[in-house]
Chain A
């Protein structure tokens, strides 16, 4: 039993660090725009497909290193592009329009939701609803190590980006006061684009890692993982980058632990219950600081 728990812990950490990568995208966008980017889960799914096609085109199992690295980079590049497009098409036009109109709070939620449904069904049209097997590039133990190491190095890099670079300062400034940031000469639409690109690139990396572990890709995969990642971001304190990492790990470990019990089917019920509980008890999440204003 102890061995089983240890194993679940290790798998949970790998799963969790992958979820954290996706959670970062939610948290970064929310931090800056106070917008739940529902389409993020579908960018994740698209990233998985892009990685699948990239890896297959680059030789798949015959050239694991080239295909793995090349395919992942391709997926990250195009997912970044997609993330930027989503923002430009669905969110940017709303920002420039006058405030004070009716339903200003609801419109971005609707476009976000619409974007998510659009991408998911577009994937069904483009790739069909069938499940596709991902090429097994590495033995499963090694895959988990790769997941863990790459996820963590990326997170450290992200912390560096946000706290030490000009772009990071601009992102944080923007998240406090977008008008003041413009007065400083910060091109806000560019910073927002870069935020979406960064989040999407991380989601694509998470997607490829996830598929290498779970070995399947299908158009509705974004819903499950996207939800878990979103919950992770909220539990950690949405808008808070270390919080997303912590939340991701927690969700990963809890998920694997439930699999040990008789209620393995209830994993996502548990995830949602945890979400509602956190929102009700401490809406700012575990690491969140600022209080969430009511409407």
Chain B
């Protein structure tokens, strides 16, 4: 199930394999078979419900990390409000799925019906998140990285606060206020009849989303678009001077990342056996910070890194929840009331992140991947290369001389 087989492997092997189309169809069928198999075999494979949850949640987080990686890793921008996009996707998907489920009139969550509900929910979630991504990405036209970071945080907080502080009880006037009241304020949204969001996203959908996300991320990274983005990150002026429009690339990266986050949100909202209520508190800054940790731990710009980071962070979060169920841990907490395991986790993460930035700023993988990409052969319809990919060393010798002279002698 390696992404490279479908990603660029397909293109590089074109010369070797006599029928690349056949090969591609076979790989797609194999993957499809795998996720369908998982849908029905997951219960046998992973009998423990808590562990099932954990695996599904980890996969959603992989999608979150992969999408954030487009902005933070590839584009070299810095979003600290990614939870906002996930939240928008989750609310949108919950509303859409809830209403379609109601319209279907079948109380049971049928796998066959999920093919009606989920595509609609995913499309709506991705689409609405993409629109917000465009809105948030547009300021990158005129803002430096750190200012843009603040805009993303501001956006995510506005989204969360508007929903959380909405008046729900009593009479509310106006369409906007009514809509906000409908979303349930601090208590969250639990479907049109307030009996829970229908949980159509089983292993098929969540594994499927993760696999598709990995493939897209991989292809993006090694496409001409991905190379242009990397070149822009290293030296915007030089890249712009060879005809790459920085604005378009940056805004597009925001839209792509937001779409991915929206889809992850859709999965989160309708995850089987998950939380049937979408709540504003799921999408605080803490979640955005977790997403940043996933990307940076693994290595900004690395697809494998984002996967490893997403899985690792999810497991540690859940592990701490599990730990707190142990009697010995509860006894310890009774003795030391200030022992907040989650706070401890955050302290550790933050320290690791700081240490990593100082000692190994490129993360565990750097930009590398676990699977080496085969060297590309010249293919006639390969995407144009706007700039040769630059190595770190040759990135920008001028900048080392600092602001004193502006230009260095080489």
Contact = CB atoms under 8 A, between A and B. Distances in A.
A and B touch in the complex (CB under 8 A): yes
Interface of A: 34-36, 89-90, 93-94, 97-103, 105-107, 109-111, 113-115, 117-118, 120-122, 124-129, 177-180, 223, 227, 230, 234, 265-266, 268-269, 272-273, 275-276, 279-280, 283, 292-295
Nearest to B154: A272
A89 B147 CA distance: 24
A227 B81 CA distance: 14
B160 to A, nearest CB: 9
**Candidate in B145, B296, B358 with the most chain A CB atoms within 10 angstroms:** B358
30 contacts: A94-B357, A94-B358, A101-B392, A101-B395, A102-B233, A102-B300, A103-B362, A109-B80, A110-B296, A110-B354, A113-B292, A113-B353, A114-B351, A117-B346, A118-B346, A118-B347, A121-B340, A121-B343, A128-B338, A129-B340, A179-B402, A265-B165, A266-B162, A269-B158, A272-B161, A280-B139, A292-B144, A294-B144, A295-B144, A295-B145
Contacts of B346: 117-118, 120-121
A90 B146 CA distance: 17
Given A102-B233, A292-B144, 18 more contacts: A34-B146, A101-B392, A105-B76, A105-B145, A106-B145, A110-B357, A111-B358, A117-B349, A121-B347, A128-B340, A265-B165, A268-B157, A269-B162, A269-B165, A272-B157, A275-B154, A276-B151, A293-B144
A129 B361 CA distance: 32
Nearest to A110: B357
Contacts of A107: 357, 361
A279 B367 contact: no
Nearest to B338: A128
Contact of A100 (B145, B344, B396): B396
A36 B403 CA distance: 20
- Considering the complex of A and B, which 4 residue pairs feature the smallest CB-CB distances, nearest first? A118-B350, A265-B165, A124-B343, A121-B346
Q: Interface extent on B, as a size class?
A: 35 or more
Interface centre among A100, A118, A126 (most CB of B within 10 A): A100
Interface in B34-83: 72, 76-78, 80
B234 interface: yes
A109 B149 contact: yes
A36 B146 contact: yes
A121 B338 CA distance: 11
A114 B353 contact: yes
Contacts of B400: 98-100
A75 B119 CA distance: 56
Interface string B81-112: 00000000000000000000000000000000
Interface in B326-356: 337-340, 343-344, 346-347, 349-351, 353-354
B165 A266 contact: yes
Interface of B: 72, 76-78, 80, 139, 142-147, 149-151, 154-155, 157-158, 161-162, 165, 233-234, 236, 246, 285, 289, 292, 296, 300-301, 337-340, 343-344, 346-347, 349-351, 353-354, 357-358, 361-362, 367, 392, 395-397, 399-400, 402-404
Given A177-B404, A178-B403, A230-B150, A279 B339 contact: no
B81 to A, nearest CB: 10
B387 to A, nearest CB: 15
Contact of A179 (B292, B354, B358, B403): B403
Contact of B402 (A178, A275, A294): A178
Contacts of B351: 114, 118
A178 B404 CA distance: 8
A117 B246 CA distance: 32
Contacts of B349: 114, 117
A93 B359 CA distance: 9
Contact of A114 (B139, B162, B354): B354
A121 B403 contact: no
A111 B354 contact: yes
Contacts of B155: 272, 276
